Structure 1
Amino acid sequence: MVVSDSGSTGAQSTRADIWVWSVRFFKTRSLATAACKAGHVKVNGERAKPAQIVRVGDEVRVMTDREHIVQVRGILTKRVGAPLAQAAYLDRTPALPPRVEQPSAVQRERGRGRPTKRDRRELDRLRGRGG
């Protein structure tokens, strides 16, 4: 098998676990295989087994820290550098929603120690838990 500089073999297809590993969604091939077995990789909406074939034009959904939706643009069989890996797919993942700012929790003055029973009742009243 002859591999070019980009890691592409000129093949028309490859295994799902090899492809998601080679485009750097997982650090090791065994992690990619385990993710396929666990159902964290879908090809064209179907749950992908590790040996499922991936072809150019397929939609691949990978669940890592969040769901990534990509369209296959190139077939890779070897792990390559990040710029080459990103060229092998078209990222269709929706942008993350803006972070909602939450009010800070009630904080005690530094050095006051644990709250007394009276302080606890006041905190509960502030939080709407007591009468």
Structure 2
Amino acid sequence: MNAGQDKVRIDKWLWAARFFKTRSLATDAVDGGRVHLNGERVKPARTLKVGDVVRVQAEHGEFTVTVLALAERRGSAEVARTLYEESAESIRKREALDFERSLAPQLDPSQVKGRPTKKFRRQIERFNSGG
């Protein structure tokens, strides 16, 4: 975190805040419309300020966060958590989605090619019968 810094590119900040593993993934997400700044779709070079609201759709969930601090360099996870504050509604939505996923049947495709194993065949039959 740089205290004298008042603006940073949104793709750099998303990477530093650990929403994406690489900066190129963050750039692709911004280009793909999965990142909105203050309700608007933006480009990767758009600057971010403290107090901005960012909505991010990442592989591990959808987040609505308020920017608390700026950083251009990626640090530890503890430092990354200090860069933003997630809204209560965002947390509630993610937890509800995680709960729904936990209720969905989990198939174990241990053998993707060839004939299914006896265990996998039983899981398929259980899934297809609704039980």
CA distance in 1, matches of 2:104, 2:56: 30
Structure 1 residue runs of 4+, over 4 Å off? 100-103
Question: Deviation of residue 24 (structure 1)?
Answer: 0.4
Give the corresponding residue for 2:91.
94
Number of equivalent positions: 102
Name the amino acid aligned to 1:71: T
Q: 1:91 to 1:102 in 2, by over 3 A?
A: closer
TM-score by length of 2: 0.69
Identity %: 39
What is the letter of the counterpart of residue 33 of structure 1? T
Q: Structure 1, unaligned stretches of length 5 or more?
A: 1-6, 104-109, 114-125
Provide the alpha-carbon RMSD of the alignment: 2.5
Shift of residue 62, structure 1, vs aligned partner: 0.6
Identify the residue that residue 117 of structure 1 maps to in structure 2. none
Compute the displacement of 1:53 (Å): 1.1
Give the aligned residue type for 1:94: I
Q: TM-score, normalised by structure 1?
A: 0.69
Using the TM superposition, give the Cα deviation of residue 8 of structure 1 relative to its aligned residue in structure 2, in angstroms: 2.3
Q: What is the match of residue 28 of structure 2?
A: 34
**Correspondent of 2:63 among 47, 65, 68:** 68
Q: Greater share of helix residues, 1 or 2?
A: 2
Give the whole-Å Cα distance in 1 for the aligned partners of 2:3 and 2:104: 50
Which protein has the larger Cα radius of gyration, Structure 1 or Structure 2? 1
Aligned positions of 1:85-124 closer than 5 A: 85-92=80-87, 93-95=90-92, 96-97=95-96, 98-99=99-100, 101=103
Q: Which residue of 2 aligns with 1:58?
A: 52
